[in-house]
Structure 1
């Protein structure tokens, strides 16, 4: 199945993949060793590094974990690190949280 992607998405995927490959090389880790440690196939790692966008998210996160980057990616997607996210969270959070108890019937 072919997916239509925006030009920006394609560019971001390629940049992400190139960053993963660079990080691997900076750390002096071979592709074979990284794929083994991450528990993914060599083909999956190649897909990630090429920015093909076909690897499952759990596999991408496994690769990032081995490279020591998974926490940074999770943190980068946390809405509470943005002013807008904090603003909306404050608006929608209840003032108090109450435990709902089931109604008891009077006999």
Structure 2
């Protein structure tokens, strides 16, 4: 497995802290959130700790329960950035070289 860059590790830690804060604000235990998201408590612990191992599906399930999966998915929309809008024609390409 590749070692994550320092920036990626920081982003994972920040995302994990945000997940934990959102859970606490909603007065949910780790066990309650994990059950509602259909994941194990251990997976949630790893997400909140900023570990890079849990699957993207687990992250989206947790975000859905916490109420911001739509915002998370929308944040990845390339057309939300000026660069993406300027180069939107590239999205139609079948193959990127």
Give the Cα–Cα distance (whole angstroms) in 2 for the partners of residues 8 and 73 of structure 1.
19
Q: CA deviation at 1:93?
A: 7.4
Cα deviations across residues 41-71 of structure 1 (Å, max 9, x unaligned)? 0000000000011100001100000000101
Give the Cα–Cα distance (whole angstroms) in 2 for the partners of residues 34 and 69 of structure 1.
14
Gaps of 5+ in 1: 95-107
RMSD: 1.5
Give the Cα–Cα distance (whole angstroms) in 1 for the partners of residues 49 and 90 of structure 2.
40
Moved over 6 A (4+): none
Give the Cα–Cα distance (whole angstroms) in 1 for the partners of residues 66 and 5 of structure 2.
28
> Which residue of structure 2 aligns with residue 51 of structure 1?
50
Give the Cα–Cα distance (whole angstroms) in 2 for the partners of residues 78 and 87 of structure 1.
13
Q: TM-score, normalised by structure 2?
A: 0.89
Q: TM-score, normalised by structure 1?
A: 0.81
Is the alpha carbon distance of 1:93 and 1:65 closer, same or farther for their aligned partners in structure 2, counting shifts above 3 Å? closer
> Which residue of structure 1 aligns with residue 32 of structure 2?
33
Give the Cα–Cα distance (whole angstroms) in 2 for the partners of residues 38 and 66 of structure 1.
6
> Which residue of structure 2 aligns with residue 102 of structure 1?
none
Cα deviations across residues 55-94 of structure 1 (Å, max 9, x unaligned)? 00001100000000101111111101111111111x4478
- Number of aligned residue pairs: 92
